[in-house]
Amino acid sequence: MRIYIEKDYDAMSRRAATVIAGEILHNPACVLGLATGSTPEGAYKYLVDWHKQGLLSFKDVLSVNLDEYVGLAPSHDQSYRYFMQSNLFDHVDIVPENTRVPDGLTKAPAAFCADYDAYIRSLGYVDMQLLGIGRNGHIGFNEPGDCFVKETHVVDLAESTIDANARFFASRDDVPKQAISMGMGAIMGAKKILLAASGEEKADAILGAVTGTISPRCPGSILQLHPNVVVIVDEAAGSKLRAAGVSVCG
C-alpha cells in the first residue's frame, strides 16, 4: 500500500482527484469503480472543474458504482444514482448508458446481482476502484460479518451504518435498512484501488484496513491482500497510522 496523509479534506480530495484523472488520461476508455458518500464529493468537484477547463474528458469512460440503497428510486435525492448524477455525471461528458449503479428497485435482486457481476467480468473488471470506508470498516456496503462475500449481494445494513447515514435523511427511520453492494470479488478484482477517508471518526477504520488483522470483522482489511492500493487520508483520519509509526509516502 502507498499511503498519503494530506493536511485536510480539500488536499485529500485534490490528491484523490489527481489519481483518478491520471487514470483517465493514461487510459481514456478506462473502467472506473465509483463510490458515494461525503468522502468522494470533493474529488468529484475537482474532476468536474478539470473537465470544464477542458483538461479531462469522460467520453469513453465506463463506470460501475459500488452500491445502492434497496427501495430508493433514482429520483430520490438520497439514492446513490441521484448522488452520482448531481455530483459527477450531469457535469461531465460521460455517456449515460456507460454508467451503472445498482438498481435499488429491482424486483429480482438475485438475478440483478448476478448480472451486475457478469457485466463487471465482461469489462475485464474495473481499472481503478475508488473506495470510502465506513466507521466500522465497511467498504461499499460490505458490513462486518463472519465471512467476506464475493458476489454482488443484498446486505442488511449495520445499526452503526444506519446511524452514520441518518444525517442525510429527515429521520433515522427513513434510512433504508438494506442495500445492494458489490462484493469483494469485484472490488479485489480491480487493477488499482484508491481508498480515501477524512475525519477523526475514520481513524480506527483506516488503521484496521491498513495494519489490522485481515478479517471480515473489518472488511477494509482485505485490501492488505491487494497488490496495488493507494490510501489517501487527511491528518485526522491518518492520526492513528502516524501514532502507530506506519510509513507514509507524504
Give the interface with ligand GLP as residue ranges (CB under 6 A). 35-39, 66-67, 132-134, 140-141, 161, 165
In the residue annotation, 65 being an active-site residue is answered as no
The per-residue b/e assignment along 174-185, b for 16 or more CB within 10 angstroms, e otherwise, is: ebbeebbbbbbb
Pairing relationship of beta strands 67-69 and 178-181 according to DSSP bridges:
antiparallel
Closest CA to 141 of 120, 113, 170: 113
Q: Which C-beta is closer to ligand GLP: that of 3 or that of 237?
A: 237
Q: Which C-beta is closer to ligand GLP: that of 57 or that of 76?
A: 76
In the residue annotation, 67 being an active-site residue is answered as yes
Choosing from 6, 127, 143, 234, the catalytic residue is: 143
CB of 196 to ligand GLP, least distance (A): 8
Choosing from 6, 23, 67, 117, the catalytic residue is: 67
Choosing from 138, 142, 153, 234, the catalytic residue is: 138
In the residue annotation, 26 being an active-site residue is answered as no
Going 12 to 15 to 18 to 22, the CA torsion angle's sign is negative
CB of 65 to ligand GLP, least distance (A): 9
CB of 131 to ligand GLP, least distance (A): 6
In the residue annotation, 27 being an active-site residue is answered as no
CB of 57 to ligand GLP, least distance (A): 26
**Residue whose Cβ sits closest to ligand GLP:** 132
Q: Give the residue numbers marked as catalytic.
A: 67, 136, 138, 143
